[in-house]
A = this chain, B = another copy of it.
Amino acid sequence: MRDLVRAVVAFRDRRDWRQFHQPKDLAVSIALEAAELLEHFQWKTADEAARYLRVRRNRDRVAAERADVLILLISLADVLGEDLVAAARRKLRSNDRKYPVARARGTAKKYHALRARPA
């Protein structure tokens, strides 16, 4: 991961693109790449999505969209001087408290819905 972060920053700086990396514009681009990822599943049932993903070429295209999102997340963390992975570790610990295993097990409910009902 550390290597990837370095590669992302080097890619950007060799092109002198740091100037375009306003946090708002990076956030816009993350949303747009997330939409391109989602587009692969448009109008598909779960079964059709599974069949689609059995084809190697499609899986590679989905992986490339996912990569675009990750590269932009790294870029956003970089311009804000932060560590993407450390923040994710903190968030996971916070989710651990928000979604206690005893209540959250086997349900897709959001944490505020979880809190509203007995364990």
**Bound CA span A84–B96, Å:** 23
Chain A residues within 8 Å of B, Cβ to Cβ: 1, 3-4, 7-8, 11, 14-17, 19-20, 22-25, 27-46, 49-50, 53, 59, 62-64, 66-71, 73, 76-77, 80, 82, 84-85, 87-92, 94-96, 99, 101, 104-106, 108
Which one of B31, B43, B59, B73 contacts A31 once the chains associate, using CB atoms below 8 Å? B31
Distance in Å: Cβ of A96 to nearest Cβ of chain B: 7
**Bound CA span A15–B14, Å:** 44
Question: Does the CB pair A43–B69 fall under 8 Å?
Answer: no
Which one of B16, B24, B44 contacts A44 once the chains associate, using CB atoms below 8 Å? B24
Which one of B28, B62, B99 contacts A80 once the chains associate, using CB atoms below 8 Å? B62
Nearest to A101 among chain B residues (CB) is B14
Which one of B1, B25, B36, B76 contacts A43 once the chains associate, using CB atoms below 8 Å? B25
**Bound CA span A49–B79, Å:** 13
Question: Does the CB pair B43–A8 fall under 8 Å?
Answer: no
Distance in Å: Cβ of A43 to nearest Cβ of chain B: 4
